[in-house]
């Protein structure tokens, strides 16, 4: 099997990583770079626990090869907070009790951040649609949706 | 016995050719052990489950304009093979001229999967359940294909041979989907019945499309494509003929539903029984036709 050296920016820091062809972005983040905030749930693109931003768009990192990310910009849950201040979505999830077991939370946070980046004032339906690919086995959806609504209102540019 | 619910990917070599010709040559030289890679949303699942054991994945999504989407008011829409479904959904041209295609894309899995998933990949995978295939068939889609002999166009309506099987040969690389400009006054809808409201594969999928046509006795053309109820994505041609020849009425749509049911050939599987699927084809075909009729008259 062939190996590749890729250059990739992760949470604002440039890294060079040597990887085999079959390593997923998820495996690279967790096993090579120790960024274990991103979770492995289904490994089939269904549960969303592994969601990260790839060039600003959310992807299931279990469904992307690391080698496909040459030159890409990745943001994981570890990269959401800036200068010790939580992202409004993170703060709202805490305030609304949107975390139960917490396994889905990193993916929920990334999907929600992506939603607010492309649609700063989503309706409840739009929030639910954006989170279709993020399963919460504790079924804590109502508080999660409430938190995203609240986060939208807390955006720095929100009135 | 240990069951690994989510195995990692088996070993393979990732190949990134510099040109389409290089990619076609590699794929032609390695038949049966290489595969073109676009979003990978089907390939990785099948490789993990052991169904596919390719030695080489050839990444064709950034080659020679395959990531471009272009609309021309005279000739129609070109969607590059590497264009992901979210880009298609967000395109104002698609929303205005091809809302059926946007509908079909929106029904696929989740937002983050659609960041990777492509329409061309959905077509080439040739699953009878492929959600976007019906829309592309009804919109008279064709594929732009690159091979060792250069470019050619393949109409979609003769592409599918069976589940996962198409007329494409080793060395063929689909570079784009082409859709002509839809007829004036057209409308379409995709109704997907899954085990849950969002994100699942279809038990039954019904794409419906219609437009005024003075050459038809009824004054209208309606077309129906069915997903998950035959070995290939199925166009119910009997429906089109019936509704072209008979005056449009709720009764005519009921009859069209029966014709669609007769046209399909479903199997029992984990998502639903053949009997249930047939019944749903009838009901959803009527529902889809009524919705299209309503949209045509609203224009």
Q: Sketch the domain layout of chain A as residue ranges.
A: 3-79, 88-154
> How many Å apart are CA B52 and CA B173, to the nearest integer?
19
Identify the closest residue of chain B to A66 by CA–CA distance: B14
Percent pLDDT > 70 in chain A is 98
* Residue ranges of domains in chain B: 13-59, 69-179, 189-298
> How many Å apart are CA B174 and CA B177, to the nearest integer?
8
- Fold equal for B69-179 and B189-298: no
Confirm or reject contact between B38 and chain A (CB < 8 A): no
Which value, in Å, is the radius of gyration of the alpha carbons in chain B?
19
- Tell me the pLDDT tens digit for each residue of A89-116: 999 999 999 999 999 999 999 999 999 9
The answer to whether the Cα torsion of B194, B198, B200, B205 is positive or negative is positive
Identify the closest residue of chain A to B6 by CA–CA distance: A43
Q: Which of B118, B107, B7, B113 is nearest to B67 (CA)?
A: B118
Q: For residues A121 and B200, which has the higher predicted lDDT (pLDDT)? A: A121
Q: Is B260 helix (H, G, I), strand (E, B) or coil?
A: helix
CB-CB: which of B5, B44, B112 is closest to A58? B112
Identify the closest residue of chain A to B116 by CA–CA distance: A59
CA geometry: angle A151, A152, A153, nearest 5 deg: 90
In the prediction, which pLDDT does A103 show?
97
Helices within chain B (DSSP H only):
20-29, 43-48, 85-90, 92-97, 99-106, 111-114, 119-125, 133-138, 237-245, 250-263, 274-298
A20–B45 C-beta distance less than 8 A: no
Identify the closest residue of chain A to B8 by CA–CA distance: A43
Beta-bridge partner residues of B146: B151, B173
In the prediction, which pLDDT does B4 show?
57
A130–B8 C-beta distance less than 8 A: no
CA of A53 vs chain B CAs: smallest distance (Å): 9
Query: Which H or E run contains A51?
Result: strand A51-54
Give the predicted TM-score (pTM) of the model. Answer: 0.96
**Segment-wise mean pLDDT, segments of 10 residues, chain B, 299 residues:** 71 97 98 98 95 97 92 97 98 97 96 98 97 98 98 98 97 98 96 85 95 97 97 96 98 98 94 95 98 92
Identify the closest residue of chain B to A126 by CA–CA distance: B111
Q: Which of B86, B74, B81, B14 is nearest to B44 (CA)?
A: B14
Chain B hits for A21, Cβ within 8 Å: 11-14, 57
Instruction: Domain A3-79: state its class.
Output: alpha beta
Confirm or reject contact between B10 and chain A (CB < 8 A): yes
Q: Which of B165, B136, B107 is nearest to B223 (CA)?
A: B136
In chain B the first and final C-alpha atoms are separated, in Å, by 62
In the prediction, which pLDDT does A155 show?
78
Q: Is A151 helix (H, G, I), strand (E, B) or coil?
A: helix
The pLDDT of A28-48, averaged and rounded, is 96
CA of B115 vs chain A CAs: smallest distance (Å): 6
| CATH number belonging to domain B69-179 | 3.30.465.10
CB-CB: which of B13, B39, B198 is closest to A21? B13
In the prediction, which pLDDT does B200 show?
80
Q: Which of B103, B20, B40 is nearest to A67 (CA)?
A: B40
Identify the closest residue of chain B to A55 by CA–CA distance: B115
B109–A64 C-beta distance less than 8 A: no
* Paired tokens of A85: 């201040």
Q: Can you spell out the DSSP letters for B212-245?
A: E-TTSTTSEEEEEEEESSSSS-EE-HHHHHHHHH
Q: Are A103 and A62 in contact (CB under 8 A)?
A: no
CATH topology of domain B13-59: 3.30.43
CA of A159 vs chain B CAs: smallest distance (Å): 26
- Hey, of A59, A77, A129, A135, which one would you mutate to test binding to chain B, going by the most B CBs within 10 A of its CB? A59
The pLDDT of A63-67, averaged and rounded, is 98
In the prediction, which pLDDT does A1 show?
87
The model's confidence at residue A159, banded by pLDDT at 50, 70 and 90, is very low
A45–B41 C-beta distance less than 8 A: yes
CA of A7 vs chain B CAs: smallest distance (Å): 16
Q: What is the ipTM of this complex?
A: 0.95
CA of B86 vs chain A CAs: smallest distance (Å): 10
- Tell me the pLDDT tens digit for each residue of B121-159: 999 999 999 999 999 999 999 999 999 999 999 999 999
* Paired tokens of B251: 């009764």
B112–A48 C-beta distance less than 8 A: yes
In the prediction, which pLDDT does B106 show?
96
Q: Which of B85, B12, B1 is nearest to B48 (CA)?
A: B12
CA of B263 vs chain A CAs: smallest distance (Å): 32
- pLDDT(A22) > 60: yes
In the prediction, which pLDDT does B5 show?
61
CATH topology of domain B189-298: Enolase-like; domain 1 (3.30.390)
A20–B11 C-beta distance less than 8 A: yes
Of the given ranges (A31-35, A152-156, B22-26, B204-208), which has the lowest mean pLDDT?
A152-156
CATH architecture of A88-154: Orthogonal Bundle (1.10)
The model's confidence at residue A85, banded by pLDDT at 50, 70 and 90, is very high
Confirm or reject contact between B59 and chain A (CB < 8 A): yes
Torsion angles phi and psi, residue B255, rounded to 5: -65, -40
Q: Which of A34, A30, A35, A32 is nearest to A4 (CA)?
A: A32
Confirm or reject contact between B46 and chain A (CB < 8 A): no
**CB atoms closer than 10 angstroms to residue B131:** 28
In the prediction, which pLDDT does A158 show?
59
B112–A60 C-beta distance less than 8 A: yes
In chain A the first and final C-alpha atoms are separated, in Å, by 54
Q: What is the mean pLDDT of chain A?
A: 96
What phi-psi label fits residue B279: left (phi over 0), alpha (psi between -120 and 50 degrees) or beta? alpha
In the prediction, which pLDDT does A157 show?
63
């Amino acid at each position: 099997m062939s190996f590749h050296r890729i250059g990739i920016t992760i949470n604002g820091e440039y890294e060079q990583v040597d990887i085999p062809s079959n390593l997923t972005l998820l495996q690279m983040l967790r096993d090579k770079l120790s960024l274990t905030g991103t979770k492995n749930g289904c490994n089939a693109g269904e549960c969303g626990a592994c969601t990260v931003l790839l060039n600003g768009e959310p992807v299931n990192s279990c469904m992307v090869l690391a080698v496909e990310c040459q030159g890409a910009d990745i943001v994981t849950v570890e990269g959401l907070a800036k200068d010790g201040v939580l992202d409004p979505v993170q703060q709202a999830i805490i305030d609304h009790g949107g975390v139960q077991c917490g396994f889905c939370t990193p993916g929920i946070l990334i999907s929600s951040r992506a939603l607010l980046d492309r649609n700063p004032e989503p309706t409840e339906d739009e929030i639910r649609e954006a989170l279709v690919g993020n399963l919460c086995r504790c079924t804590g959806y109502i508080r999660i949706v409430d938190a995203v609504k609240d986060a939208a209102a807390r955006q720095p540019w929100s009135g | 016995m240990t069951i690994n619910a989510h195995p990692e990917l088996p070993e393979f070599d990732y190949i990134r050719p510099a040109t389409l010709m290089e990619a076609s040559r590699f794929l032609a030289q390695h038949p049966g052990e290489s595969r073109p890679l676009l979003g990978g949303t089907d390939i990785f699942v099948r490789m993990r489950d052991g169904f596919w054991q390719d030695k080489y994945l050839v990444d064709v999504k950034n080659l020679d304009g395959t990531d471009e989407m272009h609309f021309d008011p005279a000739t129609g829409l070109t969607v590059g093979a590497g264009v992901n479904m979210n880009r298609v959904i967000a395109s104002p041209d698609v929303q205005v001229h091809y809302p059926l295609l946007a509908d079909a894309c929106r029904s696929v899995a989740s937002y983050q999967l659609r960041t990777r998933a492509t329409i061309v990949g959905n077509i080439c995978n040739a699953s009878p359940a492929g959600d976007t295939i019906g829309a592309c068939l009804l919109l008279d889609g064709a594929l732009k294909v690159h091979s060792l002999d250069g470019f050619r166009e393949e109409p979609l309506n003769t592409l599918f041979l069976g589940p996962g099987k198409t007329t494409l040969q080793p060395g063929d690389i689909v570079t784009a989907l082409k859709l002509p400009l839809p007829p004036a006054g057209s409308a379409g809808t995709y109704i997907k019945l899954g085990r849950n409201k969002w994100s699942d594969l279809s038990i039954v999928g019904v794409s419906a499309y219609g437009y005024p046509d003075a050459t038809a006795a009824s004054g209208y053309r309606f077309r129906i494509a069915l997903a998950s109820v035959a070995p290939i994505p199925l166009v119910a041609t009997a429906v089109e003929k019936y509704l072209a020849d008979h005056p449009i009425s709720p009764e005519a749509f009921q009859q069209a539903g029966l014709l669609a049911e007769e046209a399909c050939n479903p199997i029992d599987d984990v998502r639903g029984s053949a009997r249930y699927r047939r019944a749903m084809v009838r009901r959803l075909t009527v529902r889809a036709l009524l919705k299209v009729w309503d949209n045509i008259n609203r224009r």
